[in-house]
Amino acid sequence: MVRKMMIAGNWKMNGLSTDGVALAKEVAAAVKAKKRVCEFAVCPPFTILAAVKKALRGAKVALGAQDCHFDEKGAHTGDISPLMLADVGCAYVILGHSERRADHGESNELVCRKAEAAHKAGLKTIICIGETLAQRERGETIDVCSEQILGSVPATATAADTVIAYEPVWAIGTGKTPTAQDVEDVHAAVRKVLAKKIGKAQAGKMRILYGGSVKPANAKELLNLPDVDGALVGGASLKAADFMAIADNAGC
Ligand code: 13P
């Protein structure tokens, strides 16, 4: 089964026009500098999507956003629609990140509705799942991730329009990571649950990224596992050298 590895940067609420554009230019230059076998994406905040799009011109680096509404337009003050993201040049949108689930009370149902709308607008989704520390300590990791997959991934999702990101909440921004064996076990379990939801063929082709304290030093170990198809990188994606070292160490 050939799945193209993906290295995606989630910039979160970081990046003003000057430093964001500089970062995008550095990533674009580094991706262009040698032949790459992986797909690259950066997901800056809404405010600099257009500027980053311009900075990425000519480089094989996709643009992604970090959230969207489920409506195409209308009375939703402060929200951004999938059509608007497509219009500004996004190919991807991250949905259901644990920070949105926690800060904005996003449910699996809401994430699923957003994903359906994003796909309708021609966007690809990166749907995030992952357990909290308390859930892990209670031995609920697989159950929690399964429930999130079944509830957040549209039944119509395909490997062409959807990427999953497994991000244990306790590993995000903490410098802690699961063992490589734990990561592989969860990814393999997630792929099984995906098969129930969207069929075995699509599940076999769908990419499952790992996210949570991915650094140049652990990229080789965590990203070369059979069911791991790349990384969703937070903090380390804010430095082009670290982001590209992760890609290089993962064989990208
Ligand atoms: P860190 O890489 O900073 O742990 O963040 C991971 C993440 O949340 C990416 O979406």
pTM score: 0.98
Q: For residue 158, report the phi and psi dihedrals to the nearest 5 degrees.
A: -130, 165
Other CB atoms within 10 A of residue 187 CB: 21
Q: What pLDDT, on the 0 to 100 scale, is given for residue 2? A: 83
Distance between Cα 110 and ligand 1 center (Å)? 22
Is 1's pLDDT higher than 80?
A: no
Choose which residue among 92, 166, 172, 215 to substitute to test ligand 1 binding: the one with the highest number of ligand atoms within 8 A of its C-beta: 172
pLDDT on residue 95: 99
pLDDT tens column, 41-88 = 999 999 999 999 999 999 999 999 999 999 999 999 999 999 999 999
Q: Which of 153, 152, 167 is nearest to 206 (CA)?
A: 153
- Ligand 1 centroid to Cα of residue 169, in Å, is 9
CA 116, 236, 42 angle in degrees (round to 5)? 35
Q: E strands, the chain, where?
A: 6-10, 39-43, 61-65, 92-95, 124-129, 162-166, 207-211, 230-233
Q: Are 168 and 200 in contact (CB under 8 A)?
A: no
